[in-house]
Chains A and B, each alone.
Chain A
Amino acid sequence: MIEQHLFSIAFLSQVVLASIYIPSRIARRMSFIFDTYPPSTHPLLYPKPFDDYVKMQRGYRLANRIIAGIGFSVLVASLFVPRGRELMNGMAFLFFMVQILPLIWLEATVRKELKLMRSLNPRTTRTAELNPRRLFDVLTPALFWATVLVYLAFWVFIAWFRQFDYPWFGGFINNLIITGLNVFFASILLWFMYGKKLNPHQSAEDRMRVTRRLATVMCLVSIAVTLYAVITIFLSAEDARAFQPIARSVYFQVILLLSVQTYRVDLLDFDVYREDAQAT
């Protein structure tokens, strides 16, 4: 019973965090940009009419409010429907996927905006840094080696755990999954470091700032995912599978919190979006 109460609390926290707190922070950040860097002074920031961006912000807020409403309804209904809480345990993952849909939509919209920005870029000059970018320019050695250490420790853990011969245990498949994720993260980081510049106006300093933040977040997420895998395996071994939905919900929240920890907007160079700005 205690695990059901804990899960309800975790689910409530998931609804509040993913559909209210984080969206409101993102919407506030948008408002800050709209107010501080309006189209009149920073026309290159808005390749489309300004109203479209206001509508986008409104749509994002509305979608999250609807999802939060659904989340609260499901939570309340689970208290009264027979076996409702058990049903909800399985739904937590699906609901999380629904919760991140507005964020994915926003990201896709930004990508489209950047594409439009590139096609409308009026400048004929392009600038680049004449210095090579290296891994430790974007990542502290301590965090990098901590991530590698956690990854290697996971191999040792799986090798040690295999001796217990649990029928449900996937063995080295766990390592493959974690390795796949780390390879995926490494490819994204390489693409950010050496790939084509998506934002034609972004300054070299801002690009480094964004890449540094991304590298840090990906290392933290990699560590979090590995720890979550260890916790899940332990919960199964201890026959405490009832606690898994709670662990999953907390894990989603941690991942989401880490993922949206972006750079400070006020530190970015918005002067590059002025009409008379120099090429970047």
Chain B
Amino acid sequence: MQITIDIESSMPLFAQLTTQIKRAVQQGDKKPGDALPSIRQLANDLNLNNKTVAKAYRLLERDCVIQTRGYRGTYVHPDAQENSLVDLNELVTEKLTSAISALKESGATDSEIRVAFAAIMSSGDA
């Protein structure tokens, strides 16, 4: 089972990794309990920064697609098959689209929405 990344793609590298690992799980190439390469191994093989692979693994762990078992390594989560179908990006896009539409209907301008969004994100209230 191989994974390929394109360094010139407009899609961020960590997103290419998460997408392909999820796809491998969905297609059954990676089954629950299967071991995954270590962050360092994958980063070195793909000539990427360790942090990029670590970020992808962190997101997959958050989505319960993979699980880290301490020094023993990283494995595919027992419920990975169904969890890999959940796409938080889609959810974020959907929620934001409806929120922005509602704000625009209320008369808020693009710049007002942008400033408010940035302020909320930086204050950490959200």
Binding site for B on A (CB under 8 A): 124-133, 193-197, 200, 204, 279
Given A194-B40, A194-B44; 13 other pairs, CB 8 A cutoff:
A124-B6, A125-B6, A126-B4, A127-B3, A128-B37, A128-B45, A128-B46, A130-B1, A130-B29, A132-B35, A132-B73, A133-B41, A194-B41
Q: Is the CB of B4 within 8 A of A130?
A: no
User: Distance in Å from the Cβ of A58 to the closest Cβ of chain B?
Assistant: 34
Which DSSP category, helix, strand, loop or mixed, fits chain A's interface? loop
Given that A133-B37, A204-B2 are known contacts, is A128 also in contact with B8, CB under 8 Å in the complex? no
A–B complex contacts, Cβ < 8 Å, 23 sampled: A125-B4, A126-B5, A126-B45, A127-B3, A127-B46, A128-B42, A128-B46, A129-B37, A130-B24, A130-B30, A130-B36, A130-B42, A131-B35, A132-B41, A132-B73, A133-B37, A194-B41, A195-B44, A196-B47, A197-B45, A197-B47, A204-B2, A204-B45
Which chain A residues lie closer than 8 Å to B30 at the CB level? 130
A126 touching B2 by the CB < 8 A rule?
no
B18-52 near A? 1/0 per residue, CB < 8 Å: 00010010000110000111101110111100000
Report chain B residues within 8 Å CB of A126: 4-5, 7, 45-47
A140 to B2, CA, bound (A): 24
Among A125, A127, A132, A197, chain B packs the most CB atoms within 10 A around the CB of A132
Decide: B5 and A125 in contact? CB cutoff 8 A. yes
Question: Judging by beta carbons under 8 Å apart, are A196 and B44 in contact?
Answer: yes
Across-interface contacts of A125 in B (CB, < 8 A): 4-7
The interface of chain B, by Cβ under 8 A from chain A, is 1-8, 21, 24, 29-30, 35-38, 40-42, 44-47, 73
Task: Assess A131 versus B37: contact at CB under 8 Å? Given A126-B47, A194-B44, A197-B45.
Answer: yes
Smallest CB separation, B17 vs chain A (Å): 10
* Distance, CA A129 to CA B35, complexed state (A): 12
Residues of chain B within 8 A (CB-CB) of A133 are 37, 41
List residues of chain B with CB within 8 A of the CB of A197.
Answer: 44-45, 47
| A133, closest chain B residue (CB) | B41
B24 CB, nearest partner CB in chain A, Å: 6
Closest partner residue, chain A, to B40 (CB atom): A194
Contacts of A195 in B (CB 8 A): 44
Listed from nearest, the 4 A-B pairs whose CB atoms lie closest are A128-B45, A124-B8, A130-B1, A127-B4
**CB-CB under 8 A for A130 and B3, given A194-B38, A194-B40:** yes
Alpha-carbon distance A197/B43, docked complex (angstroms): 10
Q: How far is the CB of A183 from chain B (nearest CB, A)?
A: 20
Asked if B1 and A129 make an inter-chain contact with CB atoms under 8 angstroms apart, the answer reads yes
- When C-beta atoms are compared, the residue in chain B nearest to A118 turns out to be B47
Residue from B8, B40, B42, B45 with most neighbouring chain A CB atoms (10 Å): B45
* Alpha-carbon separation in the docked complex, A132 to B57 (Å): 14
- CA–CA, A133 and B40, complex, Å: 11
Q: How far is the CA of A56 from the CA of B29 in the complex (A)?
A: 45
Decide if A128 touches B2 in the complex (CB within 8 Å). Answer: yes
Which residue of chain A has its CB nearest to the CB of B42? Answer: A128
Out of B6, B7, B24, B36, name the residue touching A132 (CB < 8 Å).
B36
